[in-house]
Amino acid sequence: MQVKDKIVIVTGAGSGIGAAAAKHFAKHQAKVVVSDVKEEKAQKIADEIKDAKGEATVMVANVAKFNEVEDLITKTVSHYGRLDVMVNNAGIGPKNMARTGDYTLEDWDSVIAVNQTGVFYCMKLAIKQMVKQGEGNIVNIASLAGLKASLNNLSYSASKFAVVGMTKSAALEYATKNIRINAVCPGYTESALLDKLLSVRPDMDQRLKSVIPMKRYGLAEEIAEAVVWLASDSTKFITGQTITLDGGTSL
């Protein structure tokens, strides 16, 4: 993976896919800003990276707040001098899964604020910096739920469809500026979101695995490999794409 010495921000890097991506970038000698809304979680991942002889800096940010995203990118550029890669991973699910007519306003507003508006904020401000530099790379974490229907999960599905659309639109706009923008769409992956679902509905475990041709959940590390690959110099002619990692579920 050709990401050595690249300055990388990973949001939502305190756990799951974000943590795996941060570690994988560091493993390949990138300089990683581990960002999360919870400082202690981000610090734990940064410490693990440092213990493995990697370079990591912790920066706390809630991506649903524009000023905090602005501070995140300003501090990164102030510290490292540039921003090469922005990985927009921070995301949440609804507290209650329900049909559209019964969906709560709280779940709609909170999920859209983080998963959709948060990605917009991060893209907007990262692109501004990357245009100044003359190059950059953005990888957005979407979902299989951004490509196909997801029952009783309206805000999450809406937000991930939006991430796919924003990825393609922005990629088209900035292709001539040497800024590449792609997305990965994980299927059911071992993560805090999946754990939350299964804690409420243990019966869903076998049901979910039954629709995955590989009969298992994805691993965060497997998603991370695709993220780092898209962010690397090995993929210089790829932009505006969605890479689906779902064990064949979409088939």
Catalytic residues: 156
Judge whether 182 and 139 are in contact, CB under 8 Å. yes
Q: How many CB atoms lie within 10 A of CB 69?
A: 25
Phi then psi for residue 99, to 5 deg, are -65, 160
Beta strands of the chain (E only): which ranges? 7-10, 31-36, 55-60, 85-88, 136-141, 179-186, 242-245
Buried b (16+ CB within 10 A) or exposed e, 114-125: bbbbbbbbbbeb
